[in-house]
Amino acid sequence: MTELRVLVVTGSVRKPSYTTALATAVGARLSTDNAKVAWWDLAEQPVPIADPAFHRAPENHPDLAVRRLVKLTDAADAIVLASPLYHNSFSGVLKNALDCLSMRQFQHKPVGLASHGRQRSTQAVDQLRTVVRGLRGVSTTTPLCTMDSDYLPAVNGGEPCLVAPDIVERLERFVTELLDLAAALRPLRTGTVARTRAERVQ
């Protein structure tokens, strides 16, 4: 099997950001399993307010950033969504980016969910799970939810560093589940399983 491609989308515009630090830890761990990681940091690559005129065909959006995001999401075998906890939910910046995409980018793709807040609350990832279902993605069962004390503080303009042993251990499950599902669902997306079903019906 060719390498699995994972797109990591981060939804904090703060610098430095715990959410981005969490996403960085996820990406680094994915790379050690030979996944090819692509990044979309909404702080550095903002997208315009979602335009419903392109709801069904976001690849035709006039904005280059949206078209690039669509292309990267199309190419991904799995997606990671990372968000700060804002008012008991995930960030509006991330929701807007998801509204720039369509079900075609997510169908039969595993989506790993990660968030950072003042506590290890699951509120953001629980709400993301509902949105992922609306996009026909397959959210994985092991979310990553962190709080400030799970990190060493940022130094010299860098990012905080994830160190909490239980979260680092959970990251293993997060990555294993995401990549296992990505490998299992790839045939469904590429048509192999669909053909088998068609043959069964004949």
Ligand X SMILES: Cc1cc2nc3c(=O)[nH]c(=O)nc-3n(C[C@H](O)[C@H](O)[C@H](O)COP(=O)(O)O)c2cc1C
Shortest distance, position 47 Cβ to ligand X, whole Å: 18
One residue of 31, 119, 141, 192 binding ligand X per CB under 6 A: 119
Q: How many CB atoms lie within 10 A of CB 40?
A: 20
The answer to whether residue 88 forms part of the interface with ligand X (CB under 6 A) is yes
**Cβ atoms of 89 and 22 closer than 8 Å:** no
Among 32-40, 44-52, 80-88, 178-186, which window interacts with ligand X (CB under 6 A)? 80-88
Size of the site for ligand X (CB under 6 A): 15
Token pair recorded at residue 9:
């989308």
The answer to whether residue 15 forms part of the interface with ligand X (CB under 6 A) is no
What residue type is 59 in one-letter code? Answer: E
Tell me how far CA of residue 107 lies from CA of 3, 6, 139, 155, 178, in angstroms: 19, 15, 11, 40, 15
- What lies within 8 Å, CB to CB, of 200 at 6+ separation is none
CA-to-CA distance for 193 and 189, rounded, in angstroms?
8
One residue of 95, 108, 109, 116 binding ligand X per CB under 6 A: 116
Residue with Cβ nearer ligand X (171 or 182): 171
Rounded to whole angstroms, the maximal C-alpha distance in the chain is 65
One residue of 117, 171, 174, 186 binding ligand X per CB under 6 A: 117
Among 30-38, 51-59, 83-91, 150-158, which window interacts with ligand X (CB under 6 A)? 83-91
The answer to whether residue 17 forms part of the interface with ligand X (CB under 6 A) is yes
CA-to-CA distance for 25 and 69, rounded, in angstroms?
21
Among 41-49, 66-74, 111-119, 186-194, which window interacts with ligand X (CB under 6 A)? 111-119
The answer to whether residue 19 forms part of the interface with ligand X (CB under 6 A) is yes
CA-to-CA distance for 10 and 25, rounded, in angstroms?
12
Residue with Cβ nearer ligand X (73 or 127): 127
CA-to-CA distance for 11 and 68, rounded, in angstroms?
17
One residue of 5, 12, 128, 151 binding ligand X per CB under 6 A: 12
Interface with ligand X (CB under 6 A): 12, 14, 17-19, 84-88, 116-119, 121
